[in-house]
């Protein structure tokens, strides 16, 4: 982290550095002066030593010279040698005295004194030699010169002078060396002081420069901060202005109320709506004053609850303007609390929904018109179905009756043609009705267990002879590993297959038709089947392949003329496939044949679940099967009356005809009947009203079987909801009618119970039979309690799944198991409920949980249908 030196600290640093630098300079100066003084003293001493050295050398030199001159005088006798000797000797004495005085302060003064003494002796010796020479002659003088004492004296002077010279020289060198050291020390100290001074100046300058730069930077930062602050303040002011503008001119109203419901804030938009000024509202009006009387009363009653709960969402109110006009609004409000949790004020938004309310009203009217239009269309289809199917019912019925009589071969041929034409006409009508039901969304796909191989066997039986009549081969292949028991709409699968195979046989003149069923994908609970219907017929042109599934489309323009048909079949096939979650494609080559391929996914039936039995396929019509039965037939159409008359007479059934509902009520009031065959479409009193009158007015539980030419989806459920027990569609097939009579008129209770067991797949009737022990009233009581409790529980389960609340899903699934357990545990619904509970317990993915519930929801509808069927059945 970078440290910044504060200005005050920098000044202290500068002062301290200056003091240290000055003190160091003073100390160094004093030391330098002391060294210089010592150097000067040493120099003086060195010079004095040098002078002493020179004087000593001169004295020694003069002594030796004087001695040599005296020796020359002695040897030669020449007096010139001693000329000036006396002066020289006197001079030597004088110099020697001066030498002694000069060496008084020197440490070697004793040596100088000794030398002076020796020289004085030598001078005396020289005087003596001259005196000896003068007084005693040359020999004595030479003897004296060469005497041992003279030699010793001469050598002593020489040695002592050399010693003194050496000492002076050494002293001189020591002084010079000491001066050098002192000079070097002074130089080093001076340089060090100079370096320190310069370094201090540089450091101080850098610190000053750095401080100045920091000051400049700080000034720039302050200027920028001041600029930013100014910009921020301007932005805040601008944002505040924008917010205030947005608050005041928002497309919705804003207001706040205090703890007494006084208006403490309100925006311009709401003021504009209400026609007030701000001064007229703030602190003067309650929020109730801005509402109509009814709304104000409601808000006043609920204001304390709002302060406690803290919010109101999407509440519709009616506001009142200053002029008394009202308009609808939607209110959303939250409460504001202080730190202690006390209510302070509210924050409310108001949306004017005048236009929305108008749109909703228009939408409701449009929806009502659409519903009415759909009802008109449905009624038209119902009427058309009834009006067309009723005569066809008579034609087919009477044709069946005629076929039972003795006829010539030609008459038999005519009857066969009539029957074939009637069935073709019925097929066309069914196609038109199917298209209408698909358009209206009324075509429902059932989900019931069925045998795939049984269904295919029936289809093969149906078309095998037709193919052989045209000398065509016919083959049907089912992949071995495909499970036989599936759950789906067997009726619609049969319709798809019949339509495609019929077309294949119709448009094929040679070769054959092959049907292949494979399983591209198979899992634990479902299998995706691929159906292929291939022929070697006329084929479809390439440009007609794409629109071939459109309505009224055929391969060629003359196809209808040559082969017949409406062009609706393939459109219905495609819609039926797509309604079951599948897809269909076609491949064809003109003149070589066509192949239709479609995929549909079917659920696998749980192990142990029984398959429904087809009563009509196993029923044998026997005359006199119901000898004690008395049936009331309510039918207004004379042809159908006649058909019923001949049918029942051939079966030896006792019956009574009533041509409308009112007559039927009269007959039931004065006679006893075992069953009512009730037409739905009748004048005066239709079948629905008649059934309700039987149940509510007559309090009768007589079995009622609806007869209707309506072929619309939901007709069966509608009939049962009006209290009827069962349903049969016109044109009526003899075996189907006989099976229904057998179901409700057979005196053998066990037979009826077994028949019902075969029909119920989502109720375990064996378990239920053991539980109620034949008590019909107890059965009705528990079923009614089930119907009262079950829908609410399923709705709660749906909400938990939507909210992805795994814990709640597991709890509710377990709870619902107790509710449905009265209908048995070995059922698809109960088993799926257990799976859903396990998924929720294991925290399965939301998509998996939703998928499991969707399957359960499908089972729920089938379960409720069977519960209503059981409620109307007479088996206990």
Collapsing DSSP states into helix, strand and coil, what is residue 514?
strand
Asked whether residue 438 carries a pLDDT value surpassing 60, the answer given is yes
Q: What is the distance in angstroms between the CA of the first residue and the CA of the last residue of the chain? A: 94
Three-state DSSP state, 675: strand
Q: Which residues of 722-737 are buried (b: 16+ CB within 10 A; e: fewer)?
A: bbbbbbbbbbbebbeb
Identify which of 73-82, 357-366, 385-394 has the greatest average pLDDT: 357-366
- Per residue in 301-327, pLDDT (tens digit) is 888 888 888 888 888 899 999 998 999
Per-residue confidence (pLDDT) for residue 649, from 0 to 100 = 87
For 805-831, what is the mean pLDDT? 86
Compute the distance between CA of residue 595 and CA of residue 346 in angstroms, rounded to an integer: 71
At residue 687's C-alpha, the angle toward residues 681 and 691, to 5°, is 175
Average pLDDT score over residue span 739-755: 68
The mean per-residue pLDDT over the stretch 257-285 comes to: 90
Which of 479-493, 611-625, 719-733, 856-870 is the most confident on average? 479-493
What the block records as the tokens of 709 is: 């030419």
Summarised one tens digit per residue, pLDDT across range 108-153 is 567 767 777 777 777 777 777 777 777 777 777 777 777 777 677 7
Q: Is the model more confident about 560 or about 418?
A: 418
Residues 6 or more apart whose CB falls under 8 angstroms from that of 100 comprise: 112, 113, 116
Total Cβ atoms within 10 A of residue 332: 15
**Beta-carbon neighbour count of residue 644 at 10 Å?**
23
SS3 182: helix
Q: Is 304 exposed, middle or buried (0-12, 13-18, 19+ CB in 10 A)?
A: exposed
Tell me how crowded residue 211 is: count the other CB atoms within 10 A of its CB: 17
> What are the backbone angles phi and psi of residue 375, rounded to the nearest 5°?
-65, -40
As a whole number, mean pLDDT of residues 633-637 equals 88
Is the preceding peptide bond at 369 cis, omega within 30 degrees of 0?
no
The pair phi, psi for residue 812, each rounded to 5°, is: -70, -40
815: pLDDT confidence band, cut at 50, 70 and 90? confident
CA distances from 831 to 432, 472, 607, 826, 840 (A): 40, 47, 11, 7, 15
Reported residue count of the chain is 876
- Whole-number Å distance between alpha carbons of 313 and 330: 9
What string of DSSP letters covers 688-743?
HHHHHIIIIIS-----EEEEE----TTHHHHHHHTT-SEEEESSPPHHHHHHHHHH
Q: What is the pLDDT of residues 244-262, one digit of tens each?
A: 777 778 888 889 999 888 9
Please compute Rg for the chain using Cα positions: 68
Q: Which range is least confidently modeled, 326-335, 429-438, 567-576, 860-869? A: 429-438
Contact 167, 52 (CB under 8 A): no
Give the angle 94-99-104 at the CA atoms, nearest 5°. 130
CA pair distance 813, 817, nearest whole angstrom: 6
pLDDT at 633: 93
User: Span 490-518, mean pLDDT?
Assistant: 88
75-79, 97-101, 574-578, 863-867: range with lowest mean pLDDT: 97-101
Q: Which two tokens stand for residue 281?
A: 């509202």
Cβ(453)–Cβ(515) below 8 Å: no
How many Å apart are CA 852 and CA 69, to the nearest integer? 153
Residue 632's DSSP bridge partners are 656, 676
Percent of the chain with pLDDT over 90: 12
Average pLDDT over residues 695-718: 77
Q: Report the C-alpha gap between 572 and 319 in whole angstroms.
A: 54
Higher-confidence position of 41 and 475:
475
Q: pLDDT for 321-352, tens place per residue?
A: 999 899 999 999 999 999 888 998 999 999 99
For 375-379, 666-670, 757-761, which range has the lowest pLDDT when averaged over its residues?
375-379
Give DSSP secondary structure letters for 242-261: HHHHHHHHSSSEEEEE-TT-
Q: In the prediction, which pLDDT does 5 show?
A: 52
pTM higher than the cut 0.85? no
User: Which of 425-439, 494-508, 815-829 reaches the highest mean pLDDT?
Assistant: 494-508
Residue 687 structure tokens: 């079948």
For 755, residues 6+ apart whose C-beta sits below 8 A from its C-beta are 615, 742, 743
Tokens of 84: 């000036």
On whether the CB atoms of residues 29 and 190 are closer than 8 A, the answer is: no
Give the integer Cα–Cα distance in Å for 356 and 352.
8
pLDDT tens across 755-775, in order? 666 677 788 877 777 666 666
Mapped onto helix, strand or coil, the DSSP state of residue 612 is coil
Better-scored residue on pLDDT, 705 or 112: 705
- Confidence at residue 613, expressed as pLDDT on a 0 to 100 scale: 47
**Residue 531: per-residue pLDDT:** 95
Bridge partners, residue 248, by sequence: none
Of residues 129 and 739, the one with the higher pLDDT is 739
User: What is d(CA 876, CA 865) in angstroms, rounded to the nearest whole number?
Assistant: 19
Cα 834 to Cα 821: distance, rounded to the nearest angstrom: 11
Stronger pLDDT, 579 or 112, i.e. the higher one: 579
Which token pair is 336? 């504001």
> Cα(486)–Cα(446) distance, rounded to whole angstroms?
12
DSSP per position, 441-503? T-PPPP-EEEEHHHHHHHHHHHHHHHHHHTT-EEEEEE-TTS-SEEEE-HHHHHHHHHHHHHH
Residue 748, pLDDT > 50, answer no
The encoded tokens of residue 400 equal 């069946």
């Amino acid at each position: 982290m970078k440290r910044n030196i504060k200005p005050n600290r920098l000044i202290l640093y500068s002062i301290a550095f200056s003091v240290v630098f000055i003190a160091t300079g003073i100390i160094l100066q004093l030391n330098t002066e002391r060294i210089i003084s010592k150097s000067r003293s040493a120099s003086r001493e060195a010079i004095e030593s040098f002078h002493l050295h020179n004087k000593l050398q001169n004295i020694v030199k003069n002594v030796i010279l004087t001695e040599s001159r005296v020796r020359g005088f002695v040897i030669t006798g020449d007096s010139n040698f001693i000329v000036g000797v006396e002066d020289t000797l006197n001079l030597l004495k004088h110099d020697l005295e001066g030498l002694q005085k000069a060496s008084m302060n020197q440490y070697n003064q004793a040596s100088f004194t000794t030398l002076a003494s020796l020289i004085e002796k030598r001078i005396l010796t020289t005087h003596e030699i001259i005196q000896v020479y003068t007084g005693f002659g040359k020999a004595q003088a030479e003897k004296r010169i060469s005497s041992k004492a003279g030699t010793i004296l001469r050598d002593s002077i020489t040695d002592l002078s050399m010693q003194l010279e050496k000492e002076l020289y050494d002293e001189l060198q020591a002084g010079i060396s000491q001066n050098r050291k002192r000079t070097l020390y002074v130089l080093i100290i001076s340089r060090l002081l100079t370096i320190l001074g310069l370094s201090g100046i540089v450091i101080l300058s850098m610190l000053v420069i750095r401080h100045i730069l920091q000051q400049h930077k700080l000034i720039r930062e302050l200027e920028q901060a001041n600029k930013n602050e100014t910009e921020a303040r301007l932005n805040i002011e601008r944002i505040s202005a924008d917010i205030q503008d947005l608050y005041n001119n928002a497309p919705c109203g804003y207001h706040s109320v205090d703890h007494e419901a006084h208006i403490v804030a309100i925006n311009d938009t709401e003021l504009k709506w209400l026609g007030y000024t701000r001064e007229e509202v703030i602190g003067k009006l309650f929020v109730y004053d801005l509402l109509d009387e009814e709304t104000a009363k409601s808000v006043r009653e609920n204001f304390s609850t709002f302060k406690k709960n803290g919010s109101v969402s999407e509440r519709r109110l009616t506001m009142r303007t200053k002029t008394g006009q009202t308009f609808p609004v939607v209110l959303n409000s939250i409460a504001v609390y202080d730190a202690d949790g006390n209510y302070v004020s509210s924050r409310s938004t108001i949306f004017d929904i005048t236009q929305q309310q108008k749109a909703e009203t228009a939408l409701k009217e449009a929806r009502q018109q659409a519903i009415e239009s759909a009802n008109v269309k449905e009624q038209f289809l119902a009427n058309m179905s009834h009006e067309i199917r009723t005569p066809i019912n008579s034609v087919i019925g009477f044709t069946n009756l005629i076929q039972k009589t003795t006829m010539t071969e030609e008459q038999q041929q005519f009857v066969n043609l009539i029957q074939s034409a009637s069935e073709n006409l019925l097929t066309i009508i069914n196609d038109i009705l199917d298209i209408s039901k698909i358009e209206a969304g009324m075509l429902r796909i059932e989900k019931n267990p069925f045998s795939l191989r049984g269904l295919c066997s029936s289809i093969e039986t149906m078309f095998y002879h037709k193919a052989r009549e045209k000398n065509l081969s016919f083959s049907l292949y089912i992949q071995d590993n495909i499970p036989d028991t599936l759950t789906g709409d067997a009726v619609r699968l049969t319709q798809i297959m019949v339509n495609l195979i019929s077309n294949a046989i119709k448009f094929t003149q040679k070769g054959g038709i092959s049907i292949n069923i494979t399983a591209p994908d198979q899992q634990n609970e479902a299998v995706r089947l691929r159906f292929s219907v291939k022929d070697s017929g006329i084929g479809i042109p390439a440009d007609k392949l794409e629109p071939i599934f459109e309505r009224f489309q055929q391969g060629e323009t003359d196809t209808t003329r040559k082969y017949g048909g409406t062009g609706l079949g393939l459109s219905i096939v495609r819609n039926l496939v797509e309604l079951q979650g599948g897809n269909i494609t076609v491949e064809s080559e003109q003149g070589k044949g066509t192949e239709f391929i479609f995929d549909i996914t079917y659920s696998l039936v749980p192990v142990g679940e029984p398959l429904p039995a087809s009563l009509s396929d196993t029923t044998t019509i026997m005359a006199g099967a119901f000898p004690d039965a008395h049936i009331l037939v309510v039918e207004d159409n004379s042809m159908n009356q006649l058909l019923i008359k001949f049918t029942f007479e051939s079966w030896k059934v006792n019956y009574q005809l009533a041509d409308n509902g009112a007559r039927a009520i009269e007959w039931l009031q004065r006679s006893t009947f075992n069953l009512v065959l009730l037409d739905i479409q009748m004048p005066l009193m239709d079948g629905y009203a008649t059934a309700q009158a039987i149940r509510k007015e007559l309090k009768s539980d007589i079995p009622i079987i609806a007869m209707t030419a309506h072929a619309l989806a939901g007709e069966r459920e509608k009939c049962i909801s009006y209290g009827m027990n069962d349903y049969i569609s016109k044109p009526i097939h003899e075996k189907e009618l006989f099976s229904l009579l057998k179901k409700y008129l057979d005196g053998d209770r066990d037979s009826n119970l077994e028949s019902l067991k075969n029909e119920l797949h989502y109720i375990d009737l064996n378990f239920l039979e053991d539980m109620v022990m034949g008590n019909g009233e107890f059965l009705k009581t528990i079923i009614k309690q089930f119907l009262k409790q079950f829908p609410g529980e399923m709705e709660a389960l749906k909400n938990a799944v939507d909210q992805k609340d795994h814990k709640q899903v597991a709890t509710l699934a377990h709870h619902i198991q107790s509710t449905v357990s009265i209908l048995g545990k070995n059922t698809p619904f109960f088993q799926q409920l257990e799976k859903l509970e396990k998924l929720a317990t294991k925290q399965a993915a939301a998509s998996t949980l939703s998928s499991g519930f969707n399957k359960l929801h499908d089972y729920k509808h089938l379960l409720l249908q069977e519960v209503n069927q059981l409620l109307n059945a007479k088996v206990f």
